[in-house]
Amino acid sequence: MSPLKSPLFWRLLASFCVVNVLVFVLGGMVARYFIEYSATREINWSALAQQADAAYENGGDAALQRWRDQQREQGIEATLYQGGREVQPLHLPLPVRRVLPQWLGSGRDVLLQPWRGAQVSIQQLAGSGGQPRQFVGFAFARERLSHSTRLEILLAVELLLSLLLIGIVGWWVARSVARPVEALRSAAQKMAAGELSARVDERWNRHDELGELARDFNAMAGRIEALVAHDRGVLQDLSHEVRSPLARLQIILDLAQHSAGAEAEAHFLQAEREIARLDRMTGEMLALSRLKGDLPGMEREPVELGLLLEECAATMHVPAQERDIELRLTHGGSPVVSGSAVLLRRAVENLIANAIKFSPQGGRIRIELRSESDHAVIEVRDHGPGVPANEIGMLFRPFFRGSNARLAEGHGLGLTLVERVAKAHGGEAHAENADGGGLRAILSLPLLREEGDTAPVSA
């Protein structure tokens, strides 16, 4: 997955962008405040006025100019006024210069802050011979510190803010990542301890990779729970179903051991039938388990259903003939599906075998193949007793045998295998009582649409 398509990447990027913007804005504001505070609070305007007056008294204009140059290096513009005129020109901002005559005319000491970081001071002085003078000074805080000093302060403030904000945002990002990971870890530990119902809480199903991981984990956990529950159920059913033939087999072998001749041979033949029944049951269970676990072990290939049904009908002709049952196959063409011919043949044979099992002696079974929209439909219709309406929905459950099961042998796995094969091929299987008696078992499979459809079969 490209990082540019990752929600988590964009969240981290946005977090660090916010940090940088905050450091830039807050850093500049804090540094400016610190510079202004440290620069303006140290100016002693009264002392500066006395120094300027003394320099002018002792050295005239030249001495005053030298003193002004020294103060200018400290970010202070100052001069003396005498008789309402500047002794030396003073560079002041226009707003200050406009109101300066008013301040000078007040005859009082003035200390003003026209805007943040700026100070204006007017000090009344008494020159030699009693001639009054005024000291006018202007200072801008940023100009009182050198560029390198201001830069050092700015960098120091931004460094401290960066560490602080990166720590806060980093903690928030780590927490937002760690909490769903911890929830996943907790759910995984519960599952490892045998609590298969453990899931990651829905609140962590966010729209990012961690949310996708939580959803995938829950899907996986649900699948595992269903598989384990299925396997447990199958094991319980199998143990119950196997117990009866094993008990009968034990009795038969015991009778055969104490018999001789034809009687013993009859017992051994019966034992052979019980062993064959156990073998069929075991084979059905293995096939079901592989299909349920998405491990059919087959590759998809184009399968011509018309040909497949003809082969199945030929195979099942012998057991049908033993009971004088007619198999009638009808199909108008040979629709092609993508799947496993082995699994499909087994499913169709199970449908036919089930119909034979419940058909009356000398009955008739219709096997029909037709195309409906984008599906191929295989229908096997018998004329047996049918199934009670309240049992139709349970026909495809493992080991389920309806109230009419006494009429035929079996262990309740044939139709279950049919349904699993149908699902493995993207289709479905169902049954319904037919008009006039009997059962209609229907297997529906999607038709092959594209050439080269060779994806593995999955349940």
Signed CA dihedral, 379, 380, 385, 389: sign only: negative
Same domain, 345 and 220: no
Same domain, 126 and 256: no
Between 25 and 290, the more confident residue is 25
Same domain, 343 and 391: yes
The range of the structural domain enclosing residue 58 comes to 42-145
* In a domain? residue 218: yes
* In a domain? residue 353: yes
Last residue of a domain, one of 265, 293, 321: 293
Using DSSP, state whether 42 is helix, strand or coil: coil
Structure tokens at 335: 């629709």
Same domain, 313 and 416: yes
Q: For residue 56, how many other CB atoms are within 10 A of its CB?
A: 25
* In a domain? residue 455: no
Same domain, 331 and 441: yes
Determine the Cα angle at 81 with ends 80 and 85, to 5°: 140
Q: Are residues 416 and 401 in contact, defined by beta-carbon separation less than 8 angstroms?
A: no
Q: What is residue 4's DSSP assignment?
A: G
By C-alpha distance, which of 195, 216, 197 is closest to 205? 216
pLDDT at 456: 41
Distance of CA 17 to the CA centre of its chain: 25
Domains contained in the chain, number? 4
Same domain, 339 and 413: yes
Same domain, 338 and 278: no
Same domain, 124 and 234: no
* In a domain? residue 254: yes
Distance CA 144, CA 91 (A): 16
Is the model's pLDDT at 366 over the cut of 90? Answer: yes
Last residue of a domain, one of 293, 319, 341: 293
How do residues 121-174 score in pLDDT, each as one tens digit? 889 888 666 678 899 988 876 555 555 655 666 677 777 777 777 777 777 777
Q: What is the CATH number of the domain that holds 427?
A: 3.30.565.10
How do residues 313-345 score in pLDDT, each as one tens digit? 888 888 888 889 999 998 877 889 988 887 888
pLDDT at 151: 65
Q: What is the pTM of this model?
A: 0.46
* In a domain? residue 165: yes
Distance CA 59, CA 79 (A): 14
How do residues 265-284 score in pLDDT, each as one tens digit? 777 777 777 787 677 667 66
Q: Which residues of 400-427 are buried (b: 16+ CB within 10 A; e: fewer)?
A: bbbeeeeeeebbbbbbbbbbbbbebbeb
Q: What is residue 108's DSSP assignment?
A: S
* In a domain? residue 191: no
Between 144 and 189, the more confident residue is 189
Same domain, 205 and 237: yes
Same domain, 228 and 170: no
Going by pLDDT thresholds of 50, 70 and 90, the confidence category of residue 365 is: very high
* In a domain? residue 185: no
Mean pLDDT is highest, among 21-35, 162-176, 206-220, for: 206-220
Same domain, 31 and 170: yes
Is the model's pLDDT at 22 over the cut of 50? Answer: yes
Same domain, 254 and 352: no
* In a domain? residue 260: yes
Q: What is the CATH number of the domain that holds 106?
A: 3.30.450
Burial of 212 (0-12, 13-18, 19+ CB in 10 A): middle
